[in-house]
Structure 1
């Protein structure tokens, strides 16, 4: 059975329509942003937006400009140097948790990243392979094959959560509680009506992480958190507050992006059957296929909070001091000036690692990229080995809603219904819901 992509990219809309769609997050933009990004790349590659938060925002959409901005020391991330802007964007409820390397500039960012890298060494990541494989096998063992299964909730969501929690020493009932409060943060973070819930969750998580750090210092093991807390460094060791915010960013970045990317990769293969067949026929293609799928449908759509430290001219556009700068990574990764036929998935495309921006670029390049690549490789290999005939359930439907929050940082599926073994699945699984 073959399926087609749910939304054709097509030609972009008029510039004013594209700006309005991106600013307001219209349903059409949420479902498929690429036509809108095409219009911006061609007509306003660095577009000035007026979002609801009221801070002037410049959206960078071309690859060359995006690459330059990500490496430009005149574009900062330190929240303390732009605290009013930070509060306008995010409020003040999670300020302590957000005080991490994601919102820092050198020299503090350099120190924090160097310390974090001690736990993300290639050997450390490589040693995780047997355990990740065990977790993958256990989750797939529990997936039904005689009825459609939502691969997001049954597989893509729990796996990265299990991996990152075990790395941090968060196990058993504690993991359940952490994830409950973590979900409350993500649900309430951008809602003024839910600020009380946000503050409550932030306080619980901060207290729990502090207690976890104290327990880890008293009884260190070989887990990730013990390495961060106990290993001597040339720089000043992490304080408890720094460790709290480090745990937060690793938990947040370490599971959500990988969860969504697993779903995006599976969806991309199932909606491009000729590419799926190519990977099935030659598994040596899988590493470069993963790079291509991260380029083609990455889970990080736009970069995190940045701002101009001074007046900066990028691509002929003057970005004034203090303005927010966002990089549309999804747009840059489909720039035809960089990638031929960018709207076509091609698992044989070469030379992508280090060139696409799916994991960022520059000083803030994704620290967990090696772990994400490992998880994706194990997940896709296991799925293709065990369920070679896997297809989308309800192929005439959208296959799940694309997620899009108030700040369009992420792109991924809320649901991904699949039939793992169509020969064993009930006859009416192809009928659209309702």
Structure 2
């Protein structure tokens, strides 16, 4: 059995800046490593592509927190967690039922119909930046674009988008100390109260939006519980912007620090779809997949994983595995057969992946076309990353000039 990694492994500033060299060193020693994260648990880190991809679709690894009651407070916090009852945190048949309901809003036709509105929002945000000649591309562009789209899709006011960002960060960060636990509890209560009011309003006055559709599925068809409505809407709001925010931020940083690739993309804009897939592989927006819990004694790559263990599948590590990708530490926007797992794999594959790709393609195309001299406004070493205690891989800010 490999030596157990300390919980601090995923929290150090050094790891947050460059997890890939650490993953590479771990992968040289083996694909699976025990880790004390969350502290006091039996947990394992999967850092290669082959076994990580298999684990993402292994029915012995449960996503339902109700099946791991002793770990429930540690993962979700005390009280009544708003994120505990949705399709992400469920197994079949509940997962199948909930995903079928939500998928109605993310059909290919519905997603493509959003293109004009996404383009309009993109242009408005760039218009607001151009007069200044500089911007924080995260706060001024990458965050407001997808949060506006998902708010309009759900049918909730976008005026509170800054609060949504704060709540989202708190809810996806494990509560490992008193301050994090307090922030998480406050965000949980705020999100619960917010969507509670929205649900009550739509129940009284339905509209043509996702909230009204979920309420109708609850009241008229009895297809889900009140708690599932609340939890699903919270999940969609968070997942509907977090992935795209960091896809744009991480991808643009990769381009701006690889001038040859940036010049190639400007010269050959038809490479944009493959460039998006390369950004997802090279430094994707989700560092680790959501917690999975072993329901039986099992093995992963020959390492015993006892029943009741948590399993962390490192999506970022899988994307840099030389066993799956040639020259994985090189950004190559012409890369073909890019079989990354940035959006997961199996039954929990990200339902909003087509929308994230659409938003990213419009964002990158418009930024590069309208801001031809876009460049970093600080040395790359000064750019700060979020701590990796959460599942997200993203920047705190991205200062640019143009």
Same fold by TM-score, threshold 0.5 exceeded?
Answer: yes
Change (3 A) 1:72 1:52: closer
Change (3 A) 1:288 1:310: same
TM-score in terms of structure 1 length: 0.86
1:184–1:198 contact (8 Å) kept in structure 2: yes
Change (3 A) 1:232 1:209: closer
CA distance in 1, matches of 2:181, 2:23: 33
Establish whether residue 143 from structure 1 lines up as the match of residue 126 from structure 2: no
Matches within 5 A, 1:277-426: 277-352=263-338, 355-394=339-378, 396-407=379-390, 409-420=391-402
User: Aligned pairs, how many?
Assistant: 402
2:217–2:224 contact (8 Å) kept in structure 1: no
TM-score in terms of structure 2 length: 0.92
Match of 1:3 in 2: none
2:6–2:37 contact (8 Å) kept in structure 1: no
1:151–1:263 contact (8 Å) kept in structure 2: yes
SS at match of 1:119: helix
5+ residue gaps, structure 1: 1-14, 421-434
Matches within 5 A, 1:158-169: 158-169=144-155
CA distance in 1, matches of 2:141, 2:237: 18
CA distance in 2, matches of 1:233, 1:360: 32
1:126 Cα deviation after fit = 0.8
CA distance in 2, matches of 1:63, 1:239: 37
SS at match of 1:358: coil
Establish whether residue 225 from structure 1 lines up as the match of residue 211 from structure 2: yes
Deviation string 1:315-360 (CA, Å, 9 cap, x unpaired) is: 11111100100011111111111100000011011122xx210000
Change (3 A) 1:197 1:275: closer
Match of 2:37 in 1: 51
1:37 Cα deviation after fit = 0.4
1:18–1:37 contact (8 Å) kept in structure 2: no
> What is the CA RMSD across the aligned residues, in angstroms?
2.6
1:153 Cα deviation after fit = 0.9
Change (3 A) 1:18 1:105: closer
